[in-house]
Amino acid sequence: MAEVDDSNKPLFAGLSDVSISEDIPVEGEITVPVGPSSQDDAYSTLDEPVKETILRDLKAVGKKFVHVMYPRKSSALLRDWDLWGPLLLCVTLALMLQGGSADSKEDGGPQFAEVFVIIWFGSVVITLNSKLLGGTISFFQSLCVLGYCILPLTVAMIVCRLVLLGGSGTVSFIVRLVMVVASFSWSTFASTAFLADSQPANRKALVVYPIFLFYFVIGWMILTFSPSS
């Protein structure tokens, strides 16, 4: 680098010899273009209230919930993925399934962990499978879609708990069965709609099968759930 400096030196050394005659005004206005700075202000989230930040994130999550319930051809779930929604859904589902094992002498600890692990381990397996089959989707995008698509099953879980409050007879079982089957097919359909485009056309069936199995196991857990009396 020393060489570069040396070679530069004579260039700038010549400048000191330049004389500027007095009548030419050496002054002017330095203007900074305003556009970029205002844009920075618009995107800056440092000085906004915390409430706004949280609300914005919640709004983004809510928007994706709507996307899952209305599985249109849209890339919003894929484009800006986040894992907040899946975490929220997963924790909700696991907490609601928690009461199921309270009738044993153990305190039901495994249940929460079990649901949690099934959901995350299952989605990781599905994602790896889709990557191995030559899918073009990225790892976290797939996790995001699979996580958000648990939403119908979580809704089914809430309904099941409400139905179970009324009692657990044949009627309530039929209601829960219908609810779970509907939400299970909804979940599978929605996630397939989002993920299918990223797969080679001839291998869709191979990708859909593990997704089907994954939601089937979760749906089964919801259906067989019985609160402790």
Partner 1 sequence: MISASDGNKNTNAEPWGGFDDNLIQGSGSAVIDMENMDDTSGSSFEDMGEMHQRMKEEEEVAEEAAATEEDTGDDGEFLGMKGFKGQLGRQVADEVWQAGKRQASKAFNLYANIDILRPYFDVEPIQVRNRLIESMIPVRMIGFPQKVAGELYGPMMLVFTLVAILLHGMKTSGTVIREGTLMGTAIGTCFGYWLGVSSFIFFLAYLCNAQITMLQMLSLLGYGLFGHCVVLFVTYNVHFHWLFYVLWLVVGGVSTLRMVGVLISRTVGQTPRLILCGTLAILHMLFLLYLHFTYHKIVEGILDTLEGPNVPPIQRVARDLPDVATHLVNNTVKSLGISLQAQ
Q: Which residues bind partner 1 (CB under 8 A)?
A: 1, 3, 100-101, 103-104, 109-111, 113-114, 118, 125, 128-129, 131-134, 138-140, 168, 173, 202-203, 205-206, 209-210, 213, 216-217, 220, 224, 226, 229
For 225, residues 6+ apart whose C-beta sits below 8 A from its C-beta are 97, 100, 157, 160, 164
Identify which of residues 65 and 131 has a Cβ nearer to partner 1 in the complex.
Answer: 131
Counting DSSP H helices and E strands in the chain, the numbers are 10, 0
Identify which of residues 3 and 17 has a Cβ nearer to partner 1 in the complex.
Answer: 3
Sign of the C-alpha dihedral computed for residues 69, 175, 185 and 211 taken in this order: positive
Distance CA(211)–CA(130), nearest Å, equals: 10
Distance CA(101)–CA(111), nearest Å, equals: 7
Identify which of residues 162 and 220 has a Cβ nearer to partner 1 in the complex.
Answer: 220
Per the structure block, which two tokens stand in for 74? 């849209």
Tell the smallest beta-carbon distance from residue 28 to partner 1 (Å). 27
Identify which of residues 69 and 224 has a Cβ nearer to partner 1 in the complex.
Answer: 224
Closest CA to 149 of 189, 201, 122: 189
Identify which of residues 6 and 40 has a Cβ nearer to partner 1 in the complex.
Answer: 6
For 64, residues 6+ apart whose C-beta sits below 8 A from its C-beta are 76, 77, 82, 85, 148
Tell the smallest beta-carbon distance from residue 27 to partner 1 (Å). 31
Tell the smallest beta-carbon distance from residue 10 to partner 1 (Å). 14
Tell the smallest beta-carbon distance from residue 51 to partner 1 (Å). 26
**138 dihedral zone (left: phi>0; alpha: psi -120 to 50; beta):** beta
Tell the smallest beta-carbon distance from residue 18 to partner 1 (Å). 27
Identify which of residues 39 and 216 has a Cβ nearer to partner 1 in the complex.
Answer: 216
Tell the smallest beta-carbon distance from residue 150 to partner 1 (Å). 17
